[in-house]
Amino acid sequence: MGNEGRYMRAARLHDNTSGKFSIDTIPYPTLNRPTDVVVKLKASGIVPNLGNVITNYRSEKPYLAHAALPAIYGLDAAGVVAEVGPAVTGLKVGDRVYINPGRSCGSCHACRVGEPINCEAYAFQGYFGFGPKSQFLYEEYPYGGLSEYATAPADGLVKLGDKVSFEIGARMGYLGTAYSGLRKAQVAAGKSVMIIGGTGTLGLCATLIARAMGATKILVVARNEQTLAQVKAIDPARILTYSVANGSSGLAAWAKEQTDGVGVDSVVDAIAPGPNMQVTKDAFGALRRGGKLVEIGAQINEVPVNMHEMMCSALSVIGSLWFTVGEGQDLVAMIEAGTLDVSSFKNHTYTLDQANEALEDAAKRVTGFVNVVVIQD
């Protein structure tokens, strides 16, 4: 397409032991497939877990796949369509988009039955994959968000409305993951939901979306009482808060007090990897009969579960991974309509040259209100 000799800048990881990016000049992307597009990136979210992924996951979790070094990371990217393949319809140069990084092979059993997230080669562009078969997807789509341009399949793009900033687009991974989990929990008008880790990057998104979905009572559980007070101030009538700074032994009793003794309809566990499993364990006791616990936060500790009690109380445990492009489109529509209010996010912005500083900032996990973003003109 006449792009020979063109170059772009990218923050690349050359050595995963150092965990530091280098700013390199590399060739401009080539469209490998007629259904692909090139996106001029405007913003890339820096997820708090990225530092751990690039330095530890290669050794600690060898079952996860990574792009070959030097690699371009960046999970959540938003920008403007710069080029479209000859078979692309419904998108045009200049469209504002979010790149949903979930990549699937398109031909395995899961893909053929319409479940691409369950693809045996499933991978996150700019992050990691879920097995050895993910490697070829990194060869097809090697560009993460920390570059000036990236290729993506046209059916992997969420079109952003005029009211959705690129900075909010760069948070879409957390918003979408939360929304998909809440849908599996069947959160809706008249329902109650408990969100564990509700002040974190993912948990705050779940709290805001549960409110937009009409949940009558949103029970937010976290450690920091000051941050919990900030969350409650968003909607004091519907958001109830509980601090587990001194333990969670009273969590179930508190939840039942807030729900006329019945228990919550669902629990969404948004705790980040690392903390003890006790809060998650105690949350089971907060569920009503027939309730659901949906895991979206990557709880890595084993949680003992009494299967007989689960059977007798008809409880369900559901793992929810990522989200579809359609669910991302739902979120855009909600923001555009004003039903989902994302104004509480505070952007910490960095340039591409400051990618390492952005990584350090995100790793602090100060509160879920902070949105760490690398922006580009």
What SS3 string covers 149-163? EEEEEHHHEEECCCC
Residue 28 buriedness (CB in 10 A; 0-12 / 13-18 / 19+): middle
Question: Which pLDDT score, from 0 to 100, does residue 2 have?
Answer: 63
Structure tokens at 34: 């007629």
On the question of a cis peptide bond just before residue 116, with omega within 30 degrees of 0, the verdict is no
pLDDT at residue 32, as a whole number = 87
Distance from C-alpha of 356 to C-alpha of 360, rounded to nearest angstrom: 6
* pTM of the model as a whole: 0.95
| CA separation, residue 341 to residues 112, 123, 205, 228, 241 (Å) | 36, 30, 10, 18, 19
SS3 of 103, please?
strand
Question: Which pLDDT score is estimated for 58?
Answer: 64
Three-state SS for 313?
helix
Segment 97-109, tens digit of pLDDT: 999 999 999 999 9
On the question of a common fold for 7-171+345-375 and 177-319, the answer reads no
| pLDDT at site 330 | 98
**How high is the pLDDT of residue 233?**
97
Give the separation between CA 274 and CA 328, rounded to whole angstroms: 28
State the pLDDT at residue 81: 98
What class has domain 7-171+345-375?
A: alpha beta
What is the pLDDT, as a whole number, of residue 303?
86
For the chain, residues with pLDDT lower than 50 are: 1
* Confidence (pLDDT) at 54: 85
* Domain assignments of the chain as residue spans, ordered by start: 7-171+345-375, 177-319
> 311-318: long-range contacts (C-beta < 8 A, 24 or more apart)?
313/287, 313/289, 314/289, 314/290, 315/284, 315/287, 315/289, 315/290, 315/291, 316/291, 316/292, 317/292, 317/293, 318/184, 318/185, 318/292, 318/293, 318/294
Q: What's the confidence (pLDDT) of residue 376? A: 93
Q: If you classify domain 177-319 with CATH, what class do you get?
A: alpha beta
